[in-house]
Amino acid sequence: MAPDLYLFPIVFNYRQYLELALKNICYQNLSKDDYQDFIRKSSHNLLKIWTQSKKFLSRNFKNKDLDFISEVILFFNNLDKNSFNFRYPEDKKMNPSIPNNLVINLKNLKTTLDELDDLIYFTYGS
């Protein structure tokens, strides 16, 4: 397997982790009906999910931490807004799903996601 092909599952799974972790924050803080409505409206859109979950995280976080999380969310949103680009190298029309000149430092990405996880880890428990 070419090293670049490792990029797809790694980025896809990091993005999936972000989506699920943020949705879990909303799940813990919204009523069942409000959560179901939120899921219907946000689907897989990271910015919509972040907008809602940020309301709850802002109770416990400093602005610099929220800004850091926002940067990570924007990075992933710019790469893959709706969770399709890193599933396959091509879209349904056989066009590249990501730019050919995209360079991602996987070591830096891991460090960044580890930092983010350290911040939101306390939200996993409930």
Q: What is the DSSP string of 29-87?
A: HS-HHHHHHHHHHHTT-HHHHHHHHHHHHTTT--HHHHHHHHHHHHHHHHH-TTS-TTT
Tally of CB atoms within 10 A around 82:
10
Two structure tokens written together for 17? 């982790």
- pLDDT bracket for residue 91 (50, 70, 90): confident
* Measured distance CA(38)–CA(27) in Å, rounded: 9
- pLDDT bracket for residue 125 (50, 70, 90): confident
Kindly list the domain boundaries of the chain, sorted by start residue. Answer: 3-124
* Measured distance CA(96)–CA(81) in Å, rounded: 15
Q: How confident is the prediction for the chain on average, in pLDDT?
A: 91
The partner residues of 90 in beta bridges, in order of sequence, read: 96
Q: What is the pLDDT of residue 92?
A: 84
- Per cent of the chain over pLDDT 70 is 96
Q: What is the pLDDT of residue 55?
A: 96
Two structure tokens written together for 111? 């460090």
pLDDT at 3 over 60: no
Q: Read off the pLDDT of residues 78-87 as tens digits, 9 standing for 90 and up.
A: 999 888 888 8
Alpha carbon 80 to its chain's center? 9
> What pTM was computed for the model?
0.90
